[in-house]
Each structure stands twice: as C-alpha cells, then as structure tokens.
Amino acid sequence: MSRPSKGAAANAPEAAPGKPILVVHDIVKRFETPDGILTAVDHVSFTVAPGEFVSLIGPSGCGKSTLFNVIGGLIDGYEGAVTVAGERRSGPHAAIGMIFQEESTFPWRTVIDNVAFPLELAGLPKAERYERARHFVALVGLAGFERRYPAELSGGMRQRVSMARTLAASPKIMLMDEPFAALDEQTRLLLGDKVLQIQQELKQTMLLITHNITEAVQLSDRVLVMTYRPGKLKREVEIDLPRPRTSEIVSSEAFGRYVAQIWGDLREEASRGLRDDEQYQLERKDHP
C-alpha cells in the first residue's frame, strides 16, 4: 500500500526513500454505549510516505475523527499499532503535530506568543523563540499581525495561527482534523493554496481528515475513502494531478473526474449515514 506518489516524495529528507514515515496497522477501536458496543474503526491499515499529502475522507460518523485521535495519541484502548518513523508509540508524540477542527488559538496570547508556544516549551531563549516564530507567522501569510490577539482576527486567520503554532514544533507529520470546516468555500480554497505552498516549501508530510471532496482532491497525493460505521477503508485513490498545484486546479477536467469518482464511492456511505441518523432520531422520540 505504500506506493509513493509521483513528485512530492522525491526530495523527502527523512527516512530512506520508499520507507513510510507513518504506519497505521490494523486499528480497531470500539466504544461502549448504552445502545451496545459500537465499532468506530474496523481494521484500518495504511501508510504514509515522507513528504506525502494524504487525505482521509468519509461521511459523518465514519470514525475518521476517532482515527485522528488514535493516530495523534489522544485516545487509547484500541487494537493495532501506530508507528511513526519506525518507532511504535502510544500517547502524544513530538513527531506528530495536531491541528484541530475547533478554534484552538490561546485567546490570552498574541499571535507571536501563540506560535512561539512549542518553542517556549522546548526552553528556547526569548530572542531565538521570537525569531523562529516570526518565520512561521510569515509562512502562513500573517506577517505584520504578530502583536495582535486572536479576537482581532477572522476565523481563517486564527486557523492559520494554529497551523503556524503546530509547524513551529517541526513535527515529522502534520495531522489535521477538518481544520477548515468552519470556513466558507472561498476562504477554504485560498487557504488550501497556502497549505500546498507550505507543504511544498517544508516538504512536510501531511495527513488530512476531511469530509470535503474538493479539498481532498485539491490538496492530496492520495485519497483514502472510508466507509460508514464501522469505519473501514473502502478505496484508495491516487491523485495524479501535477505539482506544484494551485486552487485553479479545481476547474480542470481531471479534477472533476476525481471528484466524481470519489463521490461515487462516498454517496452510498453518506446516505447510509443519513438513514441511520433519521432512524435514531425517530427512536429517540419514541423512547425519550
């Protein structure tokens, strides 16, 4: 499964070429609920090569957020293994940077203090912290906003701050859980451009969890499609669009074909999810 995609991984600095930086092996995660045992993730395995951009896409309720938390080390009690750069680990790890779906900037810190947070934890002296942090602030396109507070920024800008903060920790893998879900379509496309730019410049390995097909195809080298609960990997799609890319790619024919293909797979899963939801709501009404 670890076919390196063309182009992006060629200059990967970490690990020997061809050797995956992330191995997700046979993850099973179940939850106990009042309605019985729920299998959120059902034997999911995949790998990610260094410098690759992989998206995990699936309908709501397919367990992708659970997978995000498992890979990031925020939950345990699962079967299977997560291996990062050859090391099997559990629990949060310096090699993995996480970006969350919700607002996660620290409202009491300025932009630069937010971004410098991981450097502060590492014990870097103030001057060096700020210099490095400034680099990442500029990288996400927020130069000039260093002394502002998150409350003064828009939602998209705040997500960029969170991104810069995670990048400042120089993680081997960036793990993102629908970071642009709260933003409007146009902002998403433009931020997507930014992400691509950053990835190209830093050769950063990225794993994106999303439900947005356009986003997945726009950004990724590979798209992994998940089924509805219990979540399994339904299909792996290699995105053979040229790099470097910009958001203009969304109007190309090839783009449209990929989207159609993925939607074809997803639609069935999504409608199962919808029916399930309605059924549940009906039942709840009858047994309050």
Partner 1 sequence: MAEAGRLTATAGRPRRGLLHPVTALRVGIIVAVLATWQLLSASGLLYRDVVPSLAAIALALYVTLSDPSFYFHLATTGYEIGIALAIGGVSGLAVGIALGASKLMAKAYEAYLYYLGPTPKIIFFPVMIMWFGVGAGSKVAMGAVSCFFPIALNVAAGMRGIDPVLIRVGASFRANTWQMVTKIYLPAMRYPVINGLRIGLGVALIGTLLAETKLSNRGIGFLVIQAYSLFNMPQMYSLLIVLFVISIGANALIGRLGGLHDIKRS
Partner 2 sequence: MNSFAAFARSGLLTRLLPAALGIGSIVVLIGLVEALIRLGLINRFIVPMPSEIFLAFPRIVVEENVLSRFTLTISEAFSASILVAVFGIAGGVLLHRFTLLRQATETWVAAIAAAPLVLIYPLYLVIFGRSATTIVMMGFTAGVAPTVLKTLEGLSGTRRVLINVGRSFNLTPSQQFWKILFPAALPTIFVGLRLGLIFALINIVGVEFLINFGGLGQLINELSERYDLAGTYAAICFVVLVSVCVFVLMERLERWLRPGD
Cis amide leading into 4 (omega within 30): no
Smaller CB separation from partner 2, 165 or 245: 165
Contact track, partner 2, 160-199, x by CB under 8 A: ---------x------------------------------
Residue 268 binds which of partner 1, partner 2, none (CB < 5-8 A, kind-dependent):
none
Residues within window 133-152 making contact with partner 2, judged by CB under 8 A: 149-151
Residue 135 binds which of partner 2, partner 1, none (CB < 5-8 A, kind-dependent):
none
Using CA atoms, how far apart are residues 121 and 13, in angstroms rounded to an integer? Answer: 25
Contact track, partner 2, 78-117, x by CB under 8 A: -------------xxxx-xxx-xxxxx-xxxxx------x
- 242: tokens are 């040229």
Smaller CB separation from partner 1, 78 or 117: 78
In whole angstroms, how close is the CB of 269 to partner 2 at the nearest point?
27
Half-sphere exposure of 37 (CA within 13 A, CB side): 6
In whole angstroms, how close is the CB of 178 to partner 2 at the nearest point?
12
Using CA atoms, how far apart are residues 135 and 138, in angstroms rounded to an integer? Answer: 5
Smaller CB separation from partner 2, 37 or 151: 151
Residue 72 binds which of partner 2, partner 1, none (CB < 5-8 A, kind-dependent):
partner 2
Residue 34 binds which of partner 2, partner 1, none (CB < 5-8 A, kind-dependent):
partner 1
Smaller CB separation from partner 1, 40 or 49: 40
**Binding region for partner 1 (CB under 8 A):** 31, 33-35, 38, 40, 61, 65-66, 69, 74-75, 280
Residues that bind partner 2 (CB under 8 A): 72-74, 91-94, 96-98, 100-104, 106-110, 117-118, 121, 149-151, 169
